[in-house]
Amino acid sequence: METLISSKVQEAHPEDPSKIGCVHPMEDVLRMDRIPHIWCPGCGIGLAVTAFSAALERANIDLDKMSIVSGIGCTGRVAGYVKLDSFHTTHGRAIAFATGIKVANPKIKVVVFSGDGDLIAIGGNHFIHAARRNIDMLVICVNNFIYAMTGGQVAPTTPLAAYATTCPFGCVEPPFNIPYIADSSGAVYVARWTTLHIRRLSNSIVEALNKKGFSVIEVISPCAQYYSRINRLGDGLDMMKFYHNNSEIRHGEDTKNLDIGFQKKIIVGKFVDRERPTYTERYNEWLSELKGAKDEPG
Amino acid sequence: MKTDPRAVKTGVYYIDGDVAAGLGALAAGCTFIGGYPITPSTEAAEAFARVAPSAGAMFIQMEDELGSIASIIGAAWAGVKSMTITSGPGYSLMMENIGLGAMLETPFVLLNIQRAGPSTGVPTKTGQADMMQSRWGSHGDYELIAIAPDSPQEMFDYTIKAFNLAERYRCPVMIMSDECVGHMTEKVVIPRAEEIEIEPRRFYTGLPDEYLPFKPDADLVPKMVKAGDGYNLYITGLIHDERGYPVKNEEFKSAYVRRLVDKIRLNKDKIIEIKEEGISGAEVIVVSYGISSRVAVRGIERAREKGIKVGNLRLVTVWPFPDEKICELAKTIKAFVVPEINYGQIVYEVDRCSHGKANVVLVPHGGSGVHNPDDIFDAIVYAAKQEGKIEGVVEYKTKLEKSIFGGGNKLKK
């Protein structure tokens, strides 16, 4: 964890190490006037934000030129805690909103940080189309297997047989395999980590931030208040122990094999890393070839 | 500020209203359309897409209407003028983010070429039944501006005006056209770029640390910045304070929403444009908008030939509604006659503003066509004959309705 703490903090208090801790190590990239955040004890979203914040400090990107877009839900609140140009939009529309920002001004680095329900259920259409177009953006999808903000309803990511408030007898629908959707829709970078793998997650974010094209990182995260409670899986720490004992790193694994079953093994790692021209690259290439286009009305 | 000459296709054309609107958007400085154009609005998107590359603009065909409107709000915050184009079903899908646009005080233009509804309705035929939806379609309290052009020339001119109003008041502006105006082909004169005045975005230019994205100027409209300029914007659809930070308490909620509605209501006189003719001394005034105002002219002419004093009041701006104007006129006339291609929308606004001082007669139409001018004439004759006050809106039974439903010449209430 040491590497995650900004060296700026040590530099600020060289003479008095006890002051380390008085300053939030990530206050450069967080909106400290909005802390404390709304997330529950045991929730993993804060860890995902920590990994992201640490990545921002290491990624060597002009943060003034970076926008973060979230939709609605627990993870939808992330944009509001990060000190970038932050957009907290409507449910499901984060990627479409971000597409508008990116296409209108390709110089802006765009990150979409939202939840599984927001990005894969109500926003699923924008997800696959942005991947197909290869819009240059990083999508961080925190997957907690449930609609948490609204109290624990079944989601398209809820594992088969898991309980949720709207499937009180167990989920009968097979869940989406997010890396597989991203891969088959054209994403150039696809990875999955749990909130236990915070350093690997952070490294992955740095890598994806420096990659051109539509990149997706799925972050499996505990929802201690709803998913764990309804399914009697203990608290956030118990979920972290579960991740510790049951996740397996398999870089380059075929994304077809990444289904997640209820309390079954979670395969993590970097699965896709390839090159494809981005939307803006293709558009500009086409534009430069365009000579004497038909531009008369009628 | 003058517009970009690259975006202006100066000349005299014979084009339809949709194409004129597409070219109007370019001339207005619009450089981004995210669209999922549907019948009968497609030609506007096509015209824009064809010229866009040479004008430094771009059209992106989004995956659906939800994405279209989200993308143009994103683009607006990236600093460009943006628009989307749609009709009936697509318009319904866009409602949620119209509210987001109003809440984030985002300038953009939405072109709705109204078609006959409900549902899929008759995609290729006209209607004017989205008027109330344009005012109240998204949840919660908000105000926006809606304009109803009635010719291809106006589609060009008022598309530019719509962009100017959007920038001026930082709000969504609806162009509530209809299939007839959209597909009507007429002469359109596109002036030279130096003759086109466009409203620049009101950018904040002070220090980033002092910037409050929702702190209004004296006219209640805040200044804007764009993403990527180091302002660390925080923009949320939650009720927010001047910093943009979410707040929940009653005082903030009231203060914020009050300003959202007041910035339009208190600037109403500067926004509203109506066209009136023969109003003074009139006993009956025909209130109409869009294609219905073109049809009404013939009915008005016939009534004048019969010696009836008829005034013609055309709503160019439908929202905000010219309450005071209607209220004043109601005191001096016998009746308003309101032809519209629906079963009563704007007519109830006219009735509301009449405060019982004048009779209000609706000439309805179910859509897929326009009124027979004879019906408007007959309704004017009827309205001129009535001596007493009739409570509520009188629904005039048109020839079409009589032929379908029978019932002789009796008026239906």
Which of these three, B195, B220, B235, is where a domain ends?
B195
Is there a contact between B60 and B33 (Cβ–Cβ < 8 Å)?
yes
- Structure tokens of B356? 């019982």
Reply yes or no on whether the pLDDT at B413 is more than 70.
Answer: no
Spatial separation of the C-alpha atoms in residues A138 and B186, rounded to whole Å: 48
pLDDT at residue B309 greater than cutoff 80: yes
Q: What is the CATH number of the domain that holds B296?
A: 3.40.50.920
Averaged pLDDT score across all residues of chain B? 96
* pLDDT for residue B180: 98
> How many residues would you count in chain B?
413
Instruction: Name the CA radius of gyration of chain A, rounded.
Output: 20
CA distance readout (Å), A280 to A151, A286, B62, B267: 40, 10, 15, 40
Q: Is the pLDDT score of A296 beyond 50?
A: no
**Element at B391 (helix H, strand E):** none
Q: Say if residue B77's pLDDT is above 90.
A: yes
Question: Once rounded to an integer, what is the mean pLDDT over residues B390-396?
Answer: 94
> How large is the average pLDDT for residues B348-370?
97
Chain A positions touching B76 (Cβ under 8 A) are: 100
Q: How far apart are the C-alpha atoms of B228 and B236, rounded to whole Å?
A: 17
Inter-chain contact B231–A85, Cβ cutoff 8 Å? yes
Domain that holds residue A51: 39-289
A177 has pLDDT over 90: yes
Instruction: Tabulate helix, strand, coil % of chain B (nearest 5).
Output: 40, 25, 40
pTM > 0.90: yes
Return the sign of the alpha-carbon dihedral for residues A122, A101, B235, B164: negative
- Read off φ and ψ for residue B151, nearest 5 degrees: -155, 160
* pLDDT > 70: percent of chain B: 98
Same domain for B183 and B58 = yes
Name the burial class of residue B403, with classes exposed (0-12), middle (13-18) and buried (19+) by CB atoms within 10 angstroms of its CB: exposed
Select from A218, A212, A209, A220 the least CA-distant residue to A190: A218
Q: Is residue A171 part of a domain?
A: yes
Within a domain: residue B206? no
Span A135-161, pLDDT tens digits: 999 999 999 999 999 999 999 999 999
Q: Nearest chain B Cα to A64, which residue? A: B230
Mean local confidence (pLDDT), B107-128: 97
Q: What integer is the mean pLDDT of B238-253?
A: 92
Q: Chain A: give the shortest CA distance to residue B157, in Å.
A: 16
Q: Would residue A8 count as lying in a domain?
A: no
CA-based nearest distance B394→chain A, Å = 42
pLDDT digits (tens, 9 = 90+) for B311-327: 999 999 999 999 999 99
Residue A19 binned pLDDT confidence (cut-offs 50, 70, 90):
low
Task: Say what the pLDDT of residue A25 is.
Answer: 82
DSSP letter assigned to residue A149: T
Residues A195-243 pLDDT 10s:
999 999 999 999 999 999 999 999 999 999 999 999 999 999 999 999 9
Domains held by chain A: number: 1
**Residue A10 pLDDT exceeds 70:** no
Tell me if B70 and A283 make a contact (CB, 8 A cut-off): no
At residue B363 the predicted structure's pLDDT band, cuts being 50, 70 and 90, is: very high
| Interchain proximity A100–B13, CB inside 8 Å | no
**Statement: residue A178 has pLDDT above 80:** yes
Provide the pLDDT confidence category of residue A18 given band limits of 50, 70 and 90. low
* Å between B275 CA and nearest CA of chain A: 29
What is the average per-residue pLDDT within A5-11?
53
Q: Would B242 be classed as within a structural domain?
A: no
Positive or negative, the CA dihedral A45, A51, A55, A58 is: positive
Among B71, B100, B138, B240, the residue to mutate for chain A (most A Cβ within 10 A): B71
Cβ–Cβ below 8 Å for A97 and B80? no
With pLDDT > 90 as the criterion, what percentage of chain A qualifies? 85
Boundary (domain end) residue, out of B195, B222, B242 = B195
* For chain B, counts of helices (H) and of strands (E): 15, 17
Domain end, chosen from B195, B229, B258, is at B195
Query: Does residue B214 lie in a domain region?
Result: no
| Res. A1: pLDDT tops 50 | no
> In the numeric block, which tokens belong to residue B160?
């530019």
Q: Is residue A133 within 8 Å of A279, Cβ to Cβ?
A: yes
Within a domain: B205: no
CATH code: domain of residue A254: 3.40.50.970
Name the residue among B277, B20, B306, B60 with its Cα closest to residue B155. B20
Determine, for residues B73 and A97 on separate chains, whether the beta-carbon distance falls below 8 Å: yes
pLDDT of A192 > 60? The answer is yes
Instruction: Identify each DSSP E strand in B36-118 by its residue range.
Output: 58-61, 81-86, 108-116
Contact B290, B176 (CB under 8 A): yes
Element (H, E) at B339: strand B335-339
**Is residue B36 in a domain?**
yes
Residue A6 lies in a domain: no
Judged by phi (left if over 0) then psi (alpha if -120 to 50, else beta), residue A174 lies in beta
Of the candidates A234, A204, A203, the residue with the CA atom closest to the CA atom of residue A218: A204
The answer as to whether A192 is a domain residue is yes
Distance from C-alpha of A77 to C-alpha of A115, rounded to nearest angstrom: 10
- Average pLDDT rounded to a whole number, residues B361-388: 96
CB atoms within 10 A of CB B239: 17
Counting the structural domains of chain B, the total is 2
Would you state the pLDDT for residue B402? 87
**pLDDT score recorded for residue B406:** 76
Per-residue confidence (pLDDT) for residue A297, from 0 to 100: 41
B144 within a domain of the structure (yes/no): yes
Q: Do B74 and A34 touch (CB under 8 A)?
A: no
Strands B30-35 and B81-86, how do they pair?
Answer: parallel
Asked whether residue A290 carries a pLDDT value surpassing 60, the answer given is yes
| Nearest Cα residue in chain B from A86 | B234
User: Testing the interface with A: which of B234, B241, B242, B247 to mutate, by most A Cβ within 10 A?
Assistant: B234
Angle CA B127–B132–B133, to nearest 5: 85
Q: Which of B23, B70, B246 sits opposite A89 (nearest CB)?
A: B70
pLDDT score, position A71: 98
Give the separation between CA B351 and CA B321, rounded to whole angstroms: 12
Residue B146: which H helix or E strand, with range?
Answer: strand B145-147
The reply to whether A12 falls in a domain is: no
pLDDT class of B93 with cuts at 50, 70, 90: very high
CB proximity list for A146: less than 8 A, separation 6 or greater: A152, A153, A154, A155, A157, A158, A164, A223, A226, A227, A230
Query: Peptide bond before B40: cis, by omega within 30 degrees of 0?
Result: yes
Indicate whether A161 belongs to any domain: yes
In this structure, is residue A19 part of a structural domain?
no
Q: Is residue A13 part of a domain?
A: no
For residue A13, count CB atoms less than 10 angstroms from its CB and return exposed for 0-12, middle for 13-18, buried for 19 or more.
middle
Q: How many CB atoms lie within 10 A of CB A119?
A: 32
For the cut 80, the answer to whether the pLDDT of residue B357 exceeds it is yes
In chain A, the DSSP E strands lie at 66-70, 85-88, 109-115, 137-143, 146-147, 153-154, 189-194, 214-220, 247-249, 266-273
Q: What is the pLDDT of residues B125-167, one digit of tens each?
A: 999 999 999 999 999 999 999 999 999 999 999 999 999 999 9
The answer on B279 and B182 residing in a single domain is no
Residue A298 has pLDDT above 50, yes or no: no
Q: Are the CB atoms for B228 and A109 separated by under 8 Å?
A: no
Do residues B30 and B151 both lie within one domain? yes
The confidence band for A15, taking pLDDT boundaries of 50, 70 and 90, is low
At residue A11, the pLDDT reads 59
CA proximity to B263, closest of B111, B108, B99, B145: B145
Report residue A186's pLDDT band, with 50, 70 and 90 as the boundaries: very high
Same domain, B160 and B44: yes
Confidence at B208, pLDDT banded by 50, 70, 90: confident
Residues of A in contact with B71 (CB under 8 A): 96-97, 99-100, 103
| Nearest beta carbon to residue A96 from set B66, B80, B245 | B66
Query: Domain holding B31: CATH number?
Result: 3.40.50.970
| B167 and B303 co-located in one domain | no
Residue A23 confidence (pLDDT): 76
Residue A13 confidence (pLDDT): 54
Residue B413 lies in a domain: no
Domain that holds residue B366: 274-405
Residue B83, φ and ψ in degrees, nearest 5: -155, 160
Does ipTM come in above 0.85? yes
Interface of B with A in 243-302 (CB under 8 A): 245-246
Provide the b/e sequence for B94-129 (b: ≥16 CB within 10 Å).
bbbbbbbbbbbbbbbbbbbbbbbbeeebbeebbbbb
From chain B residues 99-138, the ones with a CB under 8 A of any chain A CB are 100
Residue A4 has pLDDT above 60, yes or no: no
> Same domain, yes or no, for B166 and B29?
yes
Using a CB-CB distance cutoff of 8 angstroms, which residues of chain A are in contact with residue B230? 64
Write down the mean pLDDT value for chain A: 92
Q: Report the distance separating Cα A177 and Cα A173, nearest Å.
A: 12
Residues A235-288 have pLDDT tens digits of 999 999 999 999 999 999 999 999 999 999 999 999 999 999 999 999 999 988
Q: Tell me: pLDDT of A123 over 50.
A: yes
- Whether B89 is in a domain gets the answer yes
Least Cα distance to A189 among A111, A246, A265, A98 occurs for A111
- Residue A3 banded pLDDT, cuts 50, 70, 90: very low
Q: Which tops the pLDDT comparison, A5 or B183?
A: B183
Q: What is the pLDDT of residue A288?
A: 86
Q: What is the mean pLDDT of residues B19-26?
A: 98
- The yes-or-no verdict on residue B411 having pLDDT over 70 is no
